[in-house]
Amino acid sequence: MSRELRPDADETELLERARNGDSEAFGALVERYQRRVIGVAQAIVHNQDDAVELAQETFVRAYENLAKFESRSSFSTWLYRIAANLSIDFRRREGRHQVLRGEDAENEINRLPSPRGDSYQETVRTELSRRINEALKELTPEHRAVILLREVEGLSYDEISDVLQVPRGTVMSRLHYARGRMRATLKDLGRS
Amino acid sequence: MARCEEIKLLLGPFEDGELEPHEMQEVARHLVGCAECEDELADYGSLAVSLRGAAAIPDLTGFTTAVLARIDQLPISLRVRVYRYFTSFADGIGATIATGFAAAAVAVITAVILTPYFKQAHFNFDMSGHQKVARATRTGPAAALGQVAKNEALPIPPDVANGLSDADDFGDNGGAIQPVEASSGAIIDRLEADSPSVAVWSEPQSDTTVIWVPDQSR
């Protein structure tokens, strides 16, 4: 019953096959979007382990609701929206407004790819990462989500608006605030 | 300065390329003469680089497998069940059609291969049957004539006896088939013509020629 899956199979074909229960085709979609879905979840909950679990849940929910996906938006935006909703619900449920716990911050830093050779550069990099994470902690989850979706995941304003279901103007104002706050915090941390 | 405050609201979207073309031009013109706004824009650029650099890279090993394992545990939806049913049905029909075509092809090939042999066999059968008939025909009138005459112990009229001798002569004629058939009819015709009281007929089913001779004693 299952046909050969071409490596370059387009999204429409993969979706159609996944709708008909072809898990291999859905696996190809998971491979394609997993990193970004994790990124969206991580932008909101700011914890990698939680983000990975939420991303898994996102794909399972997406699979269950494939028949309801009407292609009015792109599949990726639909996925990100599911991930964002699950992540926002998770954050509310867990009451994790102070999402980046000390231990997690250390883990985040340890997971960074280490540059080869120069230990001084590595130290600088680690210090910069620590400051960035400190500055992110100063933001509200809403502001943090917007700036991470934009700067790390590279989503456009319209995509962020769609994923978080807020007006584009809100995205712009939150982003403006988050950038200004991050800039100020990083300068303070630099001075200290 | 009011001008700078307005422009600063647009610096982020300017960096992101999310402004209208005329707004992009306006910000660009302002930046040429405003070091403070230019510094802020540069800070936004380095902030983006720092954020991307600080982003933890998730370990994706086994992620897809874990998702698919969870999906496998989900109940199969009605849509999927219907699709699978019809797909398997279509596959079954397809297999039946394929089997039918294969069987037909085998039959055609077999027929093509065997037809010359059948024809040869049929020809041989006809030939052997023809020869048998011919042989019976050849031996029939002469032998039957003698046999019937001997068995019945009937007095054979001289004209019939002449026919017998002719038949014997003919029987020695070396086994040529066609002349035998032709001569058998001739013998019978001659017998009947010479002796109107003699009746001769052939029984092809019993491969026998019957010669009826009237009772001379009366």
Give the CA distances from residue A75 to residues A71, A80, B63, B96, B167, in Å, rounded to whole numbers and listed in that order: 7, 9, 19, 39, 106
B110 inside domain: no
**What tokens appear for A134 in the block?**
């400190």
What per-residue confidence (pLDDT) applies to B203? 78
Closest by CA to B157, choosing from B196, B213, B210, B201, is B213
What domains are there in chain A, each with its CATH number?
Answer: 11-191 (1.10.1740.10)
Question: Using the beta-carbon criterion (under 8 Å), do B18 and A156 form an inter-chain contact?
Answer: yes
Chain B environment of A126 (Cβ under 8 Å): none
Give mean pLDDT, residues B69-88: 76
Which segments of A13-155 are extended strands (E)? Answer: none
Shortest distance between the Cα of B9 and any Cα of chain A, in A, equals 7
Select from B44, B57, B66 the Cβ nearest to the Cβ of A113.
Answer: B57
- State the best of B67, B70, B72 to mutate against chain A, taking most chain A CBs within 10 Å: B67
B74 touches chain A (CB under 8 A): yes
B66 in any annotated domain = no
Q: Can you give the residue range of the structural domain that contains B170?
A: 134-212
For residue B207, being part of any structural domain is answered with yes
Per-residue pLDDT tens digits for A55-83? 999 999 999 998 888 877 789 989 999 99
Mapped onto helix, strand or coil, the DSSP state of residue A96 is coil
B76 DSSP assignment: P
pLDDT of residue A36: 92
Residue A177, classed as helix, strand or coil, is helix
DSSP state of A139: S
Residue bearing tokens 């010479």: B194
At B114, list the tokens. 């065997």
A51 Cβ neighbours under 8 A, 6+ residues apart: A38, A39, A41, A42, A45, A87, B58
Give the total number of structural domains in chain B: 2
Predicted local distance difference test score (pLDDT) of residue A97: 47
Three-state SS for B41? helix
The answer to whether B76 faces chain A, any CB pair under 8 Å, is: yes
Q: B residues 26-55 near A, CB within 8 Å? A: 40, 43-44, 47-48, 50-55
Calculate mean pLDDT across residues B8-15: 92
- pLDDT reading at A109 higher than 50: no
Q: What is the C-alpha to C-alpha distance for residues A190 and A188, in angstroms, rounded to an integer?
A: 5
Candidate from A51, A128, A183 with C-beta closest to B43:
A183
Q: Work out the widest C-alpha separation in chain B, in whole angstroms.
A: 165
In this complex, the residue of B44, B50, B80 whose CB is nearest that of residue A128 is: B50
Counting residues of chain A whose pLDDT is more than 90, the rounded percentage is 48
- Give me B68's structure tokens: 């698919």
pLDDT at B179: 47
Give the separation between CA A177 and CA A171, rounded to whole angstroms: 10
- Beta-carbon contacts of A163 under 8 Å, excluding residues fewer than 6 positions away, are A40, A77, A80, A81, A83, A84, A149, A155
End-to-end CA distance of chain B: 165
CB A81 within 8 A of CB A64: no
Query: Would you say residue B62 lies in a domain?
Result: no
For residue B87, tell me if it sits in a domain.
no
In a domain, B18, yes or no: yes
Please report residues of B whose CB lies closer than 8 A to that of A60.
Answer: 67, 70-71, 74
pLDDT above 70: residue B208: yes
Q: What is the mean pLDDT of residues B71-95?
A: 73
User: How confident is the model at residue B89, as a pLDDT?
Assistant: 65
pLDDT at residue number B57? 80
The overall average pLDDT reported for chain A is 83
> Is A30 in contact with B64 (Cβ distance < 8 A)?
yes
Is residue B98 included in any domain, yes or no?
no
The total number of residues shown for chain B amounts to: 218
Alpha-carbon distances of A97 from A56, A103, A139, A186, B178, rounded to whole Å:
22, 16, 10, 21, 119
Statement: residue B180 has pLDDT above 80: no
User: CA B87, B88, B89 angle in degrees (round to 5)?
Assistant: 90
- Cα(A176)–Cα(A147) distance, integer angstroms: 9
Give A-chain residues touching B39 at CB under 8 angstroms: none
The residues near B163 (Cβ < 8 Å, ≥ 6 apart) are B145, B187, B190, B191, B194
Higher-confidence residue of A3 and A176: namely: A176
> What tokens does A125 get?
């990099």
Picking from B12, B50, B77, the nearest residue to A132 by CB comes out as B50
Residue numbers in A near B67 (CB within 8 A): 27, 30, 56, 59-60
Token reading at A86: 């699950």
pLDDT digits (tens, 9 = 90+) for A135-165: 898 899 999 999 999 999 999 999 999 999 9
The amino acid that residue A9 corresponds to is A
At residue A89 the predicted structure's pLDDT band, cuts being 50, 70 and 90, is very high
SS3 A28: helix
Choose one of B52, B74, B90: the last residue of a domain: B52
Query: Residue A163, exposed/middle/buried by CB under 10 A (0-12, 13-18, 19+)?
Result: buried
